[in-house]
Amino acid sequence: MKQLPSAQPGSFESKFFLWLLVAVSLAFLWVLSPFYGAVFWGAVFAIVFAPLHARLLKTMPLRHTLAAVLALLFILLLVIFPLSLVSALLVQEAGLVFQRMQSGEMSFSLYFQQIYDALPIWVSGLLTRFGLTDMGLVQERITRSLTQGSQFFATQALSIGQNTFEFLVSFFIMLYLLFFFLRDGSALGRRMTDMLPLDVDIKRNLSSKFITVIRATVKGNIVVAMVQGALGGLIFWILGIHAPVLWGTLMAFLSLVPAVGAAIVWLPVVIYFLATGAVLQAVLLTAFCVLVIGLVDNLLRPLLVGKDTKLPDYVVLMSTIGGMALFGLNGFVIGPVIASMFIAAWDIFSTSREDASAAEATESSSAPPEH
The whole-number pLDDT of residue 131 equals: 59
User: Which DSSP category does 104 fall into?
Assistant: T
Q: What percentage of the chain exceeds 70 in pLDDT?
A: 70
- Average pLDDT for residues 192-202, to the nearest whole number? 76
Q: Which contiguous run of DSSP H or E holds residue 218?
A: none
| Position 7 pLDDT exceeds 60 | no
Mean pLDDT for the stretch of residues 177-202: 82
Instruction: Using alpha carbons, select from 335, 343, 349, 332 the residue that is nearest to residue 309.
Output: 343
Q: Give dist(CA 157, CA 287) in Å, integer.
A: 38
Poorest-pLDDT segment among 160-164, 195-199, 208-212, 353-357:
160-164
- pLDDT tens-place string over residues 277-323: 788 888 898 888 888 887 777 777 666 665 555 667 777 778 878 88
Residue 335 has pLDDT above 50, yes or no: yes
How far apart are the C-alpha atoms of 79 and 223, rounded to whole Å?
11
> What percentage of the chain carries pLDDT values higher than 90?
1
Q: Is the pLDDT confidence value at 101 over 60?
A: yes
pLDDT score of 2: 45
Of 39-48, 155-164, 338-347, which range is least confident? 155-164
The predicted model gives 122-143 an average pLDDT of 59
Q: How many CA atoms lie within 13 A of 331 on its CB side?
A: 15
- What's the confidence (pLDDT) of residue 73? 92
Q: For residue 1, is pLDDT > 70? A: no
Specify the range with the lowest mean pLDDT, choosing from 50-59, 112-121, 345-354: 112-121
Cα separation, 352 vs 300, in Å, equals 34
pLDDT tens per residue across span 199-249: 777 777 777 777 877 877 777 777 888 888 888 888 888 888 877 888 888
- Whole-number mean pLDDT of the chain? 75
